[in-house]
Structure 1
């Protein structure tokens, strides 16, 4: 089907905004984008076309959330309810989360630990058109040492020693993993650990990174303390999740090595979310108490030139502080990055890390037609994403609010 989107301004992280723009979509890809009169002539000359008036909206690429859990189960009553789900309930729960995530304007996610490999079934269902959801790039189960961060749930796999961790990497790749997630330190959700607790030895980290890279997979690591991060970065780590306790030296090392950071700023400023899930006091105190150092660490990364990528950790669709978790995290980033760099962190940056920039991340000919529309200009204020009312994924309109 040919579609022509008009009466809009195209905004992406590649070039200056195009006002009075037209976007011609053929099938699931963008055929052309540019000045409306020129694009409309091309589209109409090609045959019958469905024309959509976007009422002066601003159109950006769909958002990409790089720290996603559709089966998150934190300590507390809310998390226990998810842990207690059988496989059928869990599959439906995750599918509902995927649908709601797409409705928020998130058209690509990177899943970084999901329960019992249900993520692979969900990915297949989305790709086959049996379920609605974003494009999923998933790590399967995260790798942890025995008793390590997150070991209590089916979204991790316990390993020990270099041989054990090599087996862990290969087992996730065998199941269909697009990347590998490893827990190399403690965190905020482990009762019997601290954020700074190192959990892998150097030979274990090397085994994960070397094996994953040999199979063409990148590695991202849950990590808090600077010294643990430094060791992993030196071994070739591709991305750090959280990075609660960076130092300027380690941030510069990350920038020099091209190691990205997904800071997940929400996780140390989300008391309302914790209360909703019945998260126990010990975890709330650890998380919220880590907030000032977390921001300081994030600022060090910015100053060093580390690549910053959007990731919420909180389920992407979760209603939080008047919007959804993805947009709220993007607003947190924009407080420090500014709207233009925040747009990059939420669209083109993640897509480049995933190696998908030939197909996604910008609005130009040849890319998949993954686009969202809103009434306000996101280059003026990132909060414009609170007003997403139109979502297209692969040329299919999945949300179009009545205007």
Structure 2
């Protein structure tokens, strides 16, 4: 079992949002995959001296260390309308698996050590997760919904990343089919969205008995449910039925946001999807979709601010592939910057680490720099509690005690 002691760093994590101070001149002791000690450098070095066997010392040269980022809205097989999306749709299963594995590697390299996949093609996400866990390919920890559930002709029905279901019985079978495949959670489309040509953002797509069937069945099997949803009325109906999370939430009202906060329903706002013309142009996304997306931007941002003001738990999720180069950084960091403009950097750090870990029921393993957690860590030279843009400078990444990216400190 390898033992590593990390020094030359200040440790900060999402607990800062509730008043916990960062630890300057810190040390982190890692044994195998997990952290065994964190604290003052002298104390950790003393603890390392009592560990049997060889100890590797890593000095990060004054960096700030945080937990690895958690991206809660990921599609590694994304194929939007347009030329680039058509190329992904045309991939055979072998090509798709390699394409997604490359995306997983890139995701880990930019400091995202955990993802929540919320609709992937052909169940390739399960094979990718097994390959990553076996150490055959590099990539983040994967929590996945498998294929998202959608009504016949509903949002996203065109791809193999969704499963068309109708009626309460059909949706119950859909939930069970994804759990059978290995899903950690269930994703359901309950309204229209940006990428559907023959729908609008506020088109309702499930009846109440269908929503109830999804939520009741998933909860019976111990799985949470997240829903692609735009309009307030549809979201209110699902929240009343026990929905655990809303994706996008383009058109929230103060009343519905208050309902979400009272019920503990989280929001993954995916602010990038209504302010990413550069990305759309790169993918050849058609004009009708670009107009729908960009025109929804002001209300989308207002909706997010409304949720924050109501006390809704907000979590980081980019929708755009986590690693995608965008506006001078990657999509994950750019999303985090947008969120931080409203919630501030400390709360943004929480929304990117500990908050997602708690939603995933994985806080015993990820989300903080504490003994017992996986050594999933990132380092940068600027202070992330001063600005979320510090993550633009990630230069070192560790996952499960193994360094997967290491660059020298910038002169």
**TM-score calculated relative to the size of structure 2:** 0.98
Q: CA deviation at 1:328?
A: 0.3
Give the match for residue 7 of structure 2. Answer: 6
Give the match for residue 258 of structure 2. Answer: 252
Alignment of 1:167-316 (within 5 A): 167-316=173-322
Alignment of 1:4-403 (within 5 A): 4-14=5-15, 15-47=20-52, 48-403=54-409
CA distance in 1, matches of 2:28, 2:237: 46
Q: CA deviation at 1:46?
A: 1.3
CA distance in 2, matches of 1:98, 1:261: 24
* 1:175-225 Cα distance to aligned partner (Å, 9 max, x none): 000000000000000000000000000000000000000000000000000
| Runs of at least 5 residues in structure 2 that lack an aligned partner in the other structure | none
CA distance in 2, matches of 1:381, 1:224: 29
* 1:21-58 Cα distance to aligned partner (Å, 9 max, x none): 00000000001000000010110221321000000000
Q: CA deviation at 1:75?
A: 0.2
Q: What secondary structure, in the 3-state scheme, does the structure 1 residue paired with 2:142 have?
A: strand
* 1:302-334 Cα distance to aligned partner (Å, 9 max, x none): 110000000000000000000000000000000
Q: What secondary structure, in the 3-state scheme, does the structure 2 residue paired with 1:350 have?
A: helix
Q: What secondary structure, in the 3-state scheme, does the structure 1 residue paired with 2:14 have?
A: coil
CA distance in 2, matches of 1:223, 1:256: 19
* 1:216-240 Cα distance to aligned partner (Å, 9 max, x none): 0000000000000000000000000
CA distance in 1, matches of 2:298, 2:169: 38
Q: CA deviation at 1:401?
A: 1.3
Q: What secondary structure, in the 3-state scheme, does the structure 1 residue paired with 2:249 have?
A: strand
Q: CA deviation at 1:158?
A: 0.1
Q: CA deviation at 1:402?
A: 3.4
* 1:127-149 Cα distance to aligned partner (Å, 9 max, x none): 00011000000000000000000
Q: What secondary structure, in the 3-state scheme, does the structure 2 residue paired with 1:33 have?
A: strand
Q: CA deviation at 1:63?
A: 0.1
Q: What secondary structure, in the 3-state scheme, does the structure 2 residue paired with 1:367 have?
A: coil
**TM-score calculated relative to the size of structure 1:** 1.00
CA distance in 2, matches of 1:83, 1:402: 39
Indicate the RMSD between aligned Cα atoms, in angstroms: 0.5
Q: What secondary structure, in the 3-state scheme, does the structure 1 residue paired with 2:211 have?
A: helix
| Runs of at least 5 residues in structure 1 that lack an aligned partner in the other structure | none
Q: What secondary structure, in the 3-state scheme, does the structure 1 residue paired with 2:35 have?
A: strand
Q: CA deviation at 1:359?
A: 1.1
Q: What secondary structure, in the 3-state scheme, does the structure 2 residue paired with 1:170 have?
A: helix
Q: What secondary structure, in the 3-state scheme, does the structure 2 residue paired with 1:301 have?
A: helix
CA distance in 1, matches of 2:383, 2:306: 29
Q: What secondary structure, in the 3-state scheme, does the structure 1 residue paired with 2:379 have?
A: strand
Choose 6-15 or 19-28, whichever is displaced more.
Answer: 6-15
